[in-house]
A and B are shown apart, each in its own frame.
Chain A
Amino acid sequence: NAGVTQTPKFRILKIGQSMTLQCTQDMNHNYMYWYRQDPGMGLKLIYYSVGAGITDKGEVPNGYNVSRSTTEDFPLRLELAAPSQTSVYFCASSPTGLAGVGGEQYFGPGTRLTVT
């Protein structure tokens, strides 16, 4: 199993451009998450999904959109990129909800995004 894969690894955007960060997992996990990581701030949840067709907002959803058409894929869309979205983005998946024996999250390698 490849686990959780993310593309691209690095990207530089100009202000106002849009892009989609790709996330795929091959573990048949129902739960998927998008986080952003900023220095000294830990990880902040952007959006999450508990299954195909179901998504919900996290702590910092503004400026982002997601969709979950399949179990495997959970792309994150940035519309009208802003410098405040410069960050490292991590996708994660989990086989069950967090309050269970299997409730740990498996993380992808991250996408480093710079908006200038």
Chain B
Amino acid sequence: AQSVSQHNHHVILSEAASLELGCNYSYGGTVNLFWYVQYPGQHLQLLLKYFSGDPLVKGIKGFEAEFIKSKFSFNLRKPSVQWSDTAEYFCAVNAAAAGNKLTFGGGTRVLVKP
């Protein structure tokens, strides 16, 4: 079965610092990749997604992610975080062979100090 690992459970940053969240998955075939964000008290929202093409994907709010197939990774980045980026971030993977199921990582809680 496919699995998704997010390396950091908690990250604490100061405003204007750069953010990189790691995501690795275990499936060797074709995958579709997603990053979701959950702001405090809110439901999950899509940040960005990758299906094919350019492995560097740009999403909302200045976030981007890079798909590195050889490393089975899809790391999320933001050059300069703001206090409003405080949230929990989830990586999710759809293996083409799994049909319409998403497997989520355990999430990373990010706290940005003003």
**B71 proximal to A (CB < 8 A):** no
**A101 proximal to B (CB < 8 A):** yes
Say yes or no: A99-B104 contact (C-beta < 8 A), given A42-B90, A104-B46. no
- How far apart are B31's CB and chain A's nearest CB, in angstroms? 9
Contact of B51 among A33, A94, A99, A107 (CB under 8 A): A99
> In the complex, A100→B51 CA distance in Å?
8
Contact B32 A40 (CB under 8 A): no
Contact of A48 among B90, B96, B101, B107 (CB under 8 A): B101
Contact A42 B4 (CB under 8 A): yes
- How far apart are A65's CB and chain B's nearest CB, in angstroms? 18
> In the complex, A40→B109 CA distance in Å?
9
Q: How many chain B residues have a CB neighbour from A under 8 Å?
A: 26
Contact with A along B45-64 (1 / 0, CB 8 A): 11001010000000000000
**B94 proximal to A (CB < 8 A):** yes
Contact B100 A31 (CB under 8 A): yes
Contact of B90 among A43, A103, A104, A110 (CB under 8 A): A43
B70-114 contacts to A, CB under 8 A, are: 90, 92, 94, 96, 99-107
- How far apart are A102's CB and chain B's nearest CB, in angstroms? 10
- How far apart are B4's CB and chain A's nearest CB, in angstroms? 7
Q: Which residues of A contact B (CB under 8 A)?
A: 31, 33, 35, 40-45, 48, 50, 58-59, 90, 92, 94, 97-101, 103-105, 107-110
Can you give 20 contacting A-B residue pairs, CB < 8 Å? A31-B100, A35-B104, A42-B104, A43-B104, A48-B101, A58-B101, A90-B43, A92-B44, A94-B100, A98-B94, A98-B100, A99-B32, A99-B94, A99-B96, A103-B32, A103-B49, A103-B51, A107-B43, A107-B45, A109-B43
